[in-house]
Each structure stands twice: as structure tokens, then as C-alpha cells.
């Protein structure tokens, strides 16, 4: 029955596009329906999880790019693209997203003229969402920095714990990134770049922490007037600490490469 319905929908769309006899009233109705769908979509996006939102935004962006590039393509090619996207969605097991994308594709195919205006609105929404996500990420990073600094002021053991936490977070992020194997190579490249950027940020952060710790140790030595031997031992400890940090960073890099 589903296949029959799909076939019927395809036939209707083909007939409409072949005849090119869509009246102004139908156009207006379709615009209203499109606006309603957008409102519904907004509601659904708000209710969905963060990961689903990100994935949906990526898919929406991809769709818009495809539709912009396929201005001169025939209806048959468009149908093929639609079918491929539906298969991808089914593999991902996201029923809500699949339904939304299917509806969006059908609407776009039925009214290409109106879509020129709608695409601009959609791009704006996507851009706003991405900006919001970036802000959230920045705040999260700042919070992490603050937590790390506070922990560093107390003990070395706590620093090691934080290092382990960072490694765990990196592993989780890697798993999350590699979860979607249906993505294009371009998306994978983008993910890799983001990961590298985050890695560099974390490395810089850890270097700052080590430097701060060293400075604190120097101040303590100056205050207490410790002997040369003790100074040498402390330096050795710091060197070992730095070596440990470097080793952990190398491990993280290897994991990322893998």
C-alpha cells in the first residue's frame, strides 16, 4: 500500500510538471501549507535531542545545496535523488526525520518557483541554529577551562583525573562522529577538522595549566628557601609530568587518526 501511495504521488507530480497548468490559487494554497509545515518542523526540532537536531540541520543543508545545483536537471534525476535520500534515512532509523525530508522533497518538486523564496528562509534558519550551537560550544569550553583551572589549584591527582575525563570525552566524541557512516566524505573531512581544532585548543589549555603549576612551584621554592637538591628533584617531577601529558596527547592523536 505504501509503495502504491508513493507511485501515485510520483504520477501526480509528473503530470503536474508535464502539463505546467498550476493556477495561482493552488500556488497560494501550497505556500500556506509550506508555512504550516515549517511551523510544525520548528516544534519537532525543539522537542528532539541535540544529536538529532545537528544531523537534521546537516541533512537540510545538503538538501538545499542539492536543490540549488539541480536547477537544470530533469524530473527523473530528481526522483532518483529522492529515492536515495529515503534509503539513507531508513538506514539511519530516524522515522520523524525521514517523514519531514520526504515531505520537503515532494513540496519542492511540486513548486520550484515558490521554493526560491523558501530556500532563503530555510538557509537563514539553519545559519541561526548553527550560530546558536557554536555559542553553546564556546560556553561549554569556557566552563571546562574554569573547572580545569580550579582543579589544578588543588592537587596533581585531580589533574590526572581531569586528563582521564578529557580522554573519555574525546573517545565519546569520536564514537559520536563515527556513528553516522552514511555521511559523505566532505562531512567526514569537516568533522576531522573540527576534531583537530578542539585537540589543539585542549593542548594549549593543558600547556597553560602546566606553566601555571611550574610558576606556583617556583614561588613556593623561593618562599621556603629550599636547597638545590630539592629543586632538582622538583624539576625532575615536573619533567615527568610533562612527559605523561605528552604521552597522553600522543595517544589521543593516535586514537583520532584511527
pLDDT digits (tens, 9 = 90+) for 129-188: 655 555 655 565 566 666 555 555 555 555 555 565 666 565 555 555 555 554 445 455
Q: What cell does 116 get?
A: 526560491
pTM comes to 0.17
Any residues with CB less than 8 A from the CB of 79 and at least 6 apart, and which?
10
Q: Report CA 159 to chain centroid distance, whole Å.
A: 29
What is the predicted pLDDT for the residue at 248?
A: 74
- Give the CA diameter of the chain: 95
The length of the chain is: 258
Q: Which residues of 17-41 are buried (b: 16+ CB within 10 A; e: fewer)?
A: eeeeeeeeeeeeeeeeebeeeeeeb
Angle between helices 2-19 and 95-110 (to 10 degrees): 20
Q: Report CA 64 to chain centroid distance, whole Å.
A: 17
Q: What cell does 106 get?
A: 515532494
Q: What is the pLDDT of residues 41-61, one digit of tens each?
A: 665 555 555 555 556 666 666
Looking at residues 207-216, what average pLDDT do you find?
A: 64
Amino acid at each position: 500500500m505504501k509503495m502504491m501511495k508513493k507511485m501515485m504521488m510520483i504520477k501526480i507530480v509528473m503530470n503536474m510538471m508535464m502539463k505546467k497548468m498550476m493556477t495561482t490559487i493552488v500556488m497560494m494554497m501550497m505556500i500556506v501549507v509550506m508555512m504550516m509545515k515549517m511551523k510544525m518542523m520548528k516544534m519537532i526540532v525543539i522537542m528532539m535531542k541535540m544529536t538529532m537536531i545537528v544531523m537534521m540541520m546537516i541533512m537540510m543543508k545538503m538538501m538545499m545545496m542539492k536543490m540549488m545545483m539541480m536547477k537544470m536537471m530533469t524530473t527523473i534525476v530528481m526522483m532518483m535523488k529522492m529515492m536515495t535520500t529515503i534509503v539513507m534515512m531508513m538506514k539511519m532509523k530516524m522515522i520523524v526525520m525521514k517523514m519531514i525530508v520526504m515531505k520537503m522533497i515532494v513540496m519542492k518538486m511540486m513548486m520550484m518557483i515558490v521554493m526560491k523564496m523558501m530556500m532563503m528562509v530555510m538557509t537563514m534558519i539553519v545559519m541561526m541554529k548553527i550560530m546558536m550551537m557554536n555559542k553553546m560550544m564556546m560556553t561549554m569550553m569556557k566552563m571546562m577551562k574554569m573547572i580545569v583551572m580550579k582543579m589544578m589549584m588543588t592537587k596533581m591527582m585531580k589533574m590526572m583525573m581531569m586528563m582521564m575525563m578529557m580522554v573519555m570525552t574525546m573517545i565519546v566524541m569520536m564514537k559520536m562522529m563515527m556513528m553516522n557512516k552514511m555521511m559523505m566524505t566532505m562531512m567526514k573531512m569537516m568533522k576531522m577538522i573540527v576534531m583537530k581544532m578542539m585537540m589543539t585548543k585542549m593542548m594549549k589549555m593543558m600547556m597553560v595549566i602546566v606553566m601555571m603549576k611550574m610558576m606556583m612551584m617556583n614561588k613556593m621554592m623561593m618562599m621556603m628557601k629550599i636547597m638545590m637538591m630539592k629543586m632538582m628533584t622538583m624539576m625532575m617531577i615536573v619533567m615527568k609530568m610533562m612527559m605523561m601529558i605528552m604521552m597522553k596527547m600522543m595517544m589521543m592523536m593516535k586514537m583520532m587518526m584511527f
